[in-house]
Amino acid sequence: MNLAVNNSSEKLYTNVYADAESASKKVAQDIADLIRSKAEKGENAVLGLATGSSPLKVYAELVRMHKEEGLSFKNVITFNLDEYYPMDPSSEHSYVYFMKKNLFDHVDINMENVNIPSGTIRRKEIEEYCATYEAKIKLHGGVDLQLLGIGRTGHIGFNEPPSNEKTLTRMVTLDPITRKDAAPGFGGLENVPTEAVTMGVGSILNAKKVIMMAWGESKAAIVNEMMNGEVSGQVPATYLQLHNNVAVFLDEGAAKELKTETLV
């Protein structure tokens, strides 16, 4: 088992694994345990889900657990963090497409329980739509477990700097760095949307538990800032220091600038 116990020198509970695959399996196991414990009590598990490269291995492991171990998603309600705007849900660049391809099409989730911000809502209706999205989260008792990745700007969801810790679901303008990072997948920077609909920092902090994942040395500097920097809207991920139930999962590369050591 390639797990590093948390080191008290960090401000957030830290789990460092030798690689992203082993870390992702542990995250998936935590999610499965939540789903099963809720099912045993006749309750729904409300998951906040992320896209991008960080959760891919987690979703793959959840699919395996469904197919090989009988993990059911019938009691799962999901709320995704964000979506590009404008974005047709049938586009291969949409997060609807991403979630179906990597998770939803392979498990027994009721698609009526799936919630992903719309990239097609009329601009004049966005404010009302975002308020309704927040209300639906509250209707289901809030998010039990929120998955997160972190962008090079320190964004969580698409909450780019500067972002306030009280922000809720809203329209945002994407940082040029975020768009540049997304450009290869879109076939060029000119094809990357400049806006997105995202759950806010406050929406994320309202989750009962947060799991933050980061893989690779390219994330090491921003992970160190998130963990040990001053809480600031200039690095929105630092707001996680204000939450009382956050677990950070890293591989050795992403943990390179931290004091926590990997135990093999």
Q: Which of 148, 117, 119, 144 is nearest to 52 (CA)?
A: 148
- The number of residues in the chain equals 264
Say if residue 9's pLDDT is above 60.
Answer: no
Tens-digit pLDDT profile for residues 17-58: 999 999 999 999 999 999 999 999 999 999 999 999 999 999
Confirm whether 256 is domain-assigned: no
Distances (CA, A) of 40 to 44, 45, 49, 63, 75: 10, 11, 22, 20, 10
Percentage of the chain modeled with pLDDT above 90? 94
The token pair at 80 is: 């995704």
Tally of structural domains, the chain: 1
What is this structure's pTM? 0.95
Report the pLDDT value the prediction gives residue 127, as an integer from 0 to 100: 98
Say if residue 132's pLDDT is above 50.
Answer: yes
Alpha-carbon distance of 182 to 124, in angstroms, equals: 27
Active-site residues: which are they? 160
Alpha-carbon distance of 166 to 14, in angstroms, equals: 25
The token pair at 113 is: 């329980």
Mean pLDDT of 131-135: 98
Say if residue 4's pLDDT is above 80.
Answer: no
Confirm whether 263 is domain-assigned: no
Confirm whether 124 is domain-assigned: yes
Q: Domain span at residue 190?
A: 3-251
Q: What is the CATH number of the domain that holds 38?
A: 3.40.50.1360
Confirm whether 58 is domain-assigned: yes
Confirm whether 234 is domain-assigned: yes
Tens-digit pLDDT profile for residues 222-259: 999 999 999 999 999 999 999 999 999 999 999 999 97
